[in-house]
Amino acid sequence: MLTVVFLAGFILYQWKYLPASVASISFFLPTVRGPASLVRWHESASSCLQEAPVIPVTRKSLWLAIEELLHTELFVNKTASLLSGAVRIPTEVYDVMGPVGEDPRWEAFAPLHEYLLQAFPLIHMKLQLTKMNTYGLAYVWEGSDGALKPLLLTAHQDVVPVDPATISNWTYPPYSGHYDGTRIWGRGSADDKNGLISILAAVETLLEHDFAPARTVVLAFGFDEEATGQQGAKQIGRYLLDIYGENAFAMLVDEGDPIEDTYGAPFARPAISEKGYFDLQIQVSAPGGHSSVPPPHTAIGFLSSLIAAYESGAPRSHLTRGSAAYTHAQCLAAHAPRLPPNLRADIRAAHSSDAALRRAEAALFAEDPALAAGGRTTVAVDVVWGGVKSNALPEGAGVVVNHRVAVDSSVSALKDHAVAVLRPVADALNVTLVAFPDDGDTLFSRREISSVARAGTVTLSDAFGTALEPAPVSPTDSAQWKVLAGTIRAAWGAPHPGLDRALNKPASVQVPLQGEAEPDIVVVPSLLAGNTDTQFYWALTPHIFRYNHYYARDGPADGSIHTVDEVCEAEGFVGMVKFFVGLMLNADESRDM
């Protein structure tokens, strides 16, 4: 009797102070077979319910056979060799290139196509290949059931250039494709030739096992994603739209963020949208002359004041209920074993306490700048120019400011913001502001120099004409999301210990806490800060997911993309192949998409 009274009193005490103590309650609620309403309250408080792992039913034996194959040393080395061969072919693209057929730099893709032909013979025997603009690739694996919408898998063939000044800093030459038995080194190994080759390896493996799909599978590979995709994916998107029509595909999966260990738990973050893009050019013109008689500010001086004000006026990050960052935080509180207890309690209480929300915001954003950047329009001053001689006043100076536009904002709102921040500075400096003159009739009218003399002019414009609105948001209450998230969870798993020994690796780099089980993967919808080729596929399906099923057990999570020593771990690469095999098999069995 005393035990019952004590337990009742304890529960009432905890309930009274629920916001602060919910972290401690959450650890025992799932094990209690008590009132269903209490369990539902806990589930709703966590806001991070996970889909059950999805494995094929009718093709279960095929899945298990391929899964066993993937964990062999022979397959790991074979697949690593396939990626290594692709990395050895430099397919660099630059921001400014002439049309295909005129600019010889595009010819770098021809050797890659020859390589793919010999590396994946079954694909080139059994799939239909169409080339767009010479180097864009679209493979069609025709299914037996035309009533099923096709699955679309995409990647890109191109890589960012290697700065010649950095070559000596690479552990292995950037296009050596060196495989040391554990990692594949070189430009493109992590962005995005691992995506390209893992998709092709998954299809080739299924063909080797005589799999014939009911649902058509389309593979689309652009060749200038790193230069906005105008030559490649844009042409492929038009082609697919002409052939299949709008909303013709069940789902699209393209490159995205990799799996990342966060507070002791692996987090998979399929992006359901991506931020917009805008390059703002701020150009100042001012009278020249001899530098021995300078004005208070030269064109460069004006520009400096404008830059300083613009950076200071950059949008701030806030953790808001309902945002992707807030969902991520709730998943941390529900599933991350090493999250500090005070932070866990604040995240739990944030659903009703503004003070807890602000504390959680401060702690999370200080620890994870990428999470902080995800919810705001970012400002990055990346290119600057001005002046031609040390004793001549510069007649012009300029800067390009790169923005990734928040999904709840727009390019138009960004332009409004730029004018609101820079107009008072221009007035204070006595310079004329000309805001986006190419927009035609807008809110921003040019103020002509008439009765008042001005010291110069500052013009705001779209630097390259590549403005992009934020992407549509893909729904997560859909059969497509269930298949994707379920496949991610089914494809997750540590390699067999025997494989680790064969590859001369420790059994696990992640050491669980004492008494702690190996953490399961957490799937949380996310936003992509960068931009992908999916911008050209929006009309094909509302179910677009950007995701990289890559997990680095002993290295940088993102494989050091776009920098020195880009690398891909062989085990993580095989995990990508496993994911695509599972996705194609699961999508093939689904009749709800």
Q: How many CB atoms lie within 10 A of CB 218?
A: 24
CATH architecture of structural domain 276-462: 2-Layer Sandwich (3.30)
How buried is residue 497: exposed, middle or buried, by Cβ count under 10 Å (0-12/13-18/19+)? exposed
Q: In the block, which residue shows the tokens 């005393």?
A: 2
Identify the CA nearest to 580 among candidates 65, 265, 152: 152
Bridge-partner residues for 379, per DSSP?
403
Q: Where are the domains of the chain?
A: 2-46, 60-273+471-507+518-589, 276-462
The answer to whether residue 225 is catalytic is yes
DSSP state of 291: T
DSSP state of 517: P
Q: What tokens appear for 516 in the block?
A: 């702690």
- Which region, left, alpha or beta, applies to residue 12 given φ > 0 means left and ψ of -120 to 50 means alpha? alpha
Q: How many CB atoms lie within 10 A of CB 118?
A: 9
Asked if 282 contacts 401 with a C-beta cutoff of 8 angstroms, the reply is: yes
Q: What tokens appear for 364 in the block?
A: 């999370």
User: What was the pLDDT predicted at 301?
Assistant: 96
**One pLDDT digit (tens) per residue for the chain, 593 residues:** 444 444 444 334 333 333 333 333 332 233 332 333 222 223 333 479 999 999 999 999 999 999 999 999 999 999 999 999 999 999 999 988 999 999 999 999 999 999 999 999 999 999 999 999 999 999 999 999 999 999 999 999 999 999 999 999 999 999 999 999 999 999 999 999 999 999 999 999 999 999 999 999 999 999 999 999 999 999 999 999 999 999 999 999 999 999 999 899 999 999 999 999 999 999 999 999 999 999 999 999 999 999 999 999 999 999 999 899 999 999 999 999 999 999 999 999 999 999 999 999 999 999 999 899 998 999 999 999 999 999 999 999 999 999 999 999 999 999 999 999 999 999 999 999 999 998 864 444 433 333 344 799 999 999 999 899 999 999 999 999 999 999 999 999 755 444 444 445 544 334 444 444 557 999 999 999 889 999 999 999 999 999 999 999 888 889 999 999 999 999 999 999 999 999 999 999 999 99
**Rounded to whole angstroms, how far apart are CA atoms 74 and 366?**
44
**Rounded to whole angstroms, how far apart are CA atoms 438 and 442?**
10
CATH architecture of structural domain 60-273+471-507+518-589: 3-Layer(aba) Sandwich (3.40)
The answer to whether residue 354 is catalytic is no
Q: What is the pTM of this model?
A: 0.86
Give the dihedral sign, CA 447/448/454/458: positive
User: What was the pLDDT predicted at 359?
Assistant: 97
Give the dihedral sign, CA 357/358/361/363: negative
- Cα dihedral 519/261/550/362 (nearest 10): 130
Of 204, 224, 225, 257, catalytic: 225
Q: Which amino acid is at 13?
A: Y
User: What was the pLDDT predicted at 14?
Assistant: 39
Cα 183 off chain centre by: 22
3-state secondary structure of 540: helix
**Rounded to whole angstroms, how far apart are CA atoms 274 and 253?**
13
DSSP state of 534: G
Bridge-partner residues for 217, per DSSP?
141, 151
User: What was the pLDDT predicted at 480?
Assistant: 98
Asked if 371 contacts 527 with a C-beta cutoff of 8 angstroms, the reply is: no
Whole-Å CA distances, 469 to 41, 406, 412, 528: 38, 9, 9, 13
Asked if 364 contacts 265 with a C-beta cutoff of 8 angstroms, the reply is: no
**Rounded to whole angstroms, how far apart are CA atoms 220 and 128?**
12
First to last CA, the chain: 55
